[in-house]
Amino acid sequence: MATIHFHKTMSVTPEQFVAAITDFGPGRSKIFGNSADEFLKVHDLGPAHADVTEGSGGVWERLSYDWSDPYRVVMRTTDSNVWGGASGHTYHLTRRPDGTTALEAVVVREGRNLKGRIVGLLLGTVAKPFLGKALDQTIRAVEARY
């Protein structure tokens, strides 16, 4: 199992970031490059939660989103063709006095099969920069939106 931590700073507010990453409409792939619009399926959507299947490139996962705390978004994997167990993402947001937002992102990847275990091992070691780059792209896309 790989647990990966990132610390980033953004020019958007926590509210803007949460609004962007919980927008499950067309164009989601501009925010999350690994969420192809043609694979997006919203099973349930409420004011502070969602049940969504998304993915791309042959990897998909069903995620339970919870943003009931405006400074924390939890995306727990409930089903996937690759990920299982404790897999998911958690974003902690802190408003800073200078108008920026600090983001602490924690990604947990627990493989449910051989492919998942191999990819999880790679993500926890040599492939971590690729996840960081994807998070940077998400941040840039959210900042461009506002």
pLDDT at 131: 86
Which strands sit side by side in the sheet containing 88-95, from one edge to the other? 2-10, 101-109, 88-95, 72-80, 59-69, 49-56, 41-45
Per the structure, how many domains does the chain have? 1
Return the CATH number at 84.
Answer: 3.30.530.20
- Compute the mean pLDDT over every residue in the chain, rounded to the nearest whole number: 93
Domain range for 81 is 2-145
The pTM assigned to this predicted structure is 0.92
pLDDT at 35: 92
